[in-house]
Amino acid sequence: METQVLEVDPLEDARSIYQQAAAVLASGQLVAIPTETVYGLGADAFQPEALAAVFAAKERPAFDPLILHLASARHLDEVVELPEVFRDMVQQLADAFWPGPMTLVLPKKPVVPDLATSGLPTVAVRVSAHPVMRGICKELGHPIAAPSANRFGHISPTSAEAVSKELGGRIPLILDAGACSEGIESTILLPVLDEKGQPAVQILRQGPLVKERIREVVRVVKPKKAPLSRQEREAKAAAPAATEKTPALAPGQLKSHYAPTKPLVLHNPRQAFPMEAGTAYGLISYKGDSPLAGQPGWAATASLSPGSGRLAEAAVRLFAVMRRMDENPAVQVIVAEELPETGLGAAMMDRLRRAAAPRN
């Protein structure tokens, strides 16, 4: 299949391109679409065959559910059955963080195909801040199911060029709106009832919307395995769908996700790395000024936020820098500096740990 790459500038009148992309989706085919987090591989969420094509193009196991993208929060009720206990909290979250890099997991309506949720009773939804994704959702008139536009287990693409490398020849259309502004996948939240039966959220996947900010709006609780209290049992009886099957982690959060093809190891930036003779190492440094970065012998070095050390800049560049190291023929093993685990650093360390995990 030939893959067309179309540049789209949302500040120009891009509507004809949105319509063209929506027509491709309506015909059951796939389009790679930019979002503020990473590029998504879009399909019409209401066409099970198109969803099946997503799994095929990504070589993704069918147990890994997809995220539905909506044109606006007003469309939420079309796909989810919002439990009354969560209505106010979800409204507050939507007001505070949509459009933006927040995904909510909520009980699904029957119109949502089982293929989108891998048979789960819940569906993941978000309203992207990217005008191109929202514009196409609007033209299509349906939600767009879109996982990250990479082959399964690979690094998420933050540019159209990276999408081409991953899926070129497998899909008819890639929309190119330049680099993604956030650079890592959305934060996934699951509404739950806390120990007092009050609405709260669990963070299923860390992302650009950091815990510190979520806490300004709602209570954040850790997933727990202890038996339910009486209060919780009563609360659960009031909102069964939402507390049933509560996973400790988002399914698909496999340990060795986001993996480069080369081995990657995490290392303390204040300590020298024990290099083996005859192996070529490439370093991904945070600021580029650590003792580790100063160690002689690197075959290549890159820094995520040169000099200044801003976590937001590092997040935007993380996947692109990982990809470049992976493609650099002079490098055999990638060494990545451990990052401070506050705010966005926690989401980045989550991705790096997965990249460093033994492959399955």
Residues forming the site for ligand TXA (CB under 6 A): 35, 37-38, 40, 64-67, 101, 103, 105, 117, 120, 122-124, 146-148, 185-186, 188, 204-205, 247, 250-253
Provide the 10 A C-beta neighbour count for residue 196. 11
* Pick 138 or 353: Cβ nearer Mg ion: 353
Residue 204 interaction partner, one of Mg ion, ligand TXA, none, beta carbon < 5-8 Å per kind: ligand TXA
Residue 345: CB minimum distance to ligand TXA, A: 18
Region binding Mg ion by CB under 5 A among candidate stretches 10-18, 49-57, 91-99, 143-151:
143-151
Where are the alpha helices (H) located in 45-197, listed in sequence order?
Answer: 48-58, 76-79, 87-97, 114-117, 131-140, 160-167
62 within 8 A of 118, measured Cβ to Cβ: yes
Distance from C-alpha of 289 to C-alpha of 295, rounded to nearest angstrom:
10
Residue 263: CB minimum distance to Mg ion, A: 21
118 within 8 A of 64, measured Cβ to Cβ: yes
State CA 230 to chain mean position distance: 36
Residue 165: CB minimum distance to Mg ion, A: 15
Residue 80 interaction partner, one of Mg ion, ligand TXA, none, beta carbon < 5-8 Å per kind: none
Q: What sign does the CA torsion over 18, 19, 20, 23 have? A: positive
Site string for Mg ion, 220-239 (x = CB under 5 A): --------------------
Residue 347: CB minimum distance to Mg ion, A: 14
**What is the number of the residue whose Cβ is closest to Mg ion?**
148
Distance from C-alpha of 41 to C-alpha of 25, rounded to nearest angstrom:
11
Using DSSP's 3-state secondary structure scheme, residue 127 falls into: coil
CA angle in degrees (0–180, nearest 5) for 28-31-34: 145
* Pick 147 or 288: Cβ nearer ligand TXA: 147
Residue 162: CB minimum distance to ligand TXA, A: 13
Region binding Mg ion by CB under 5 A among candidate stretches 123-131, 142-150, 192-200, 203-211:
142-150
Using DSSP's 3-state secondary structure scheme, residue 96 falls into: helix
* Pick 125 or 293: Cβ nearer ligand TXA: 125
Distance from C-alpha of 160 to C-alpha of 144, rounded to nearest angstrom:
18
* Pick 206 or 303: Cβ nearer ligand TXA: 206
Residue 147: CB minimum distance to Mg ion, A: 5
Residue 348 interaction partner, one of ligand TXA, Mg ion, none, beta carbon < 5-8 Å per kind: none
Q: Please name which of 33, 208, 210 lies closest in space to residue 131, comparing C-alpha atoms.
A: 33
CA atoms within 13 A of residue 8's CA, in its CB half-sphere: 30
* Pick 122 or 243: Cβ nearer ligand TXA: 122
* Pick 135 or 207: Cβ nearer Mg ion: 207
Q: Which of 128, 148, 285, 303 binds Mg ion (CB under 5 A)?
A: 148
Which residue bears the tokens 């790459």? 5
Residue 40 interaction partner, one of Mg ion, ligand TXA, none, beta carbon < 5-8 Å per kind: ligand TXA
SS (H, E, C) 202-245: EEEECCCCCHHHHCCCCCECCCCCCCCCHHHHHHHHHCHHHHCC
Residue 159 interaction partner, one of Mg ion, ligand TXA, none, beta carbon < 5-8 Å per kind: none
Residues lying near Mg ion in the complex (CB under 5 A) are found at 148
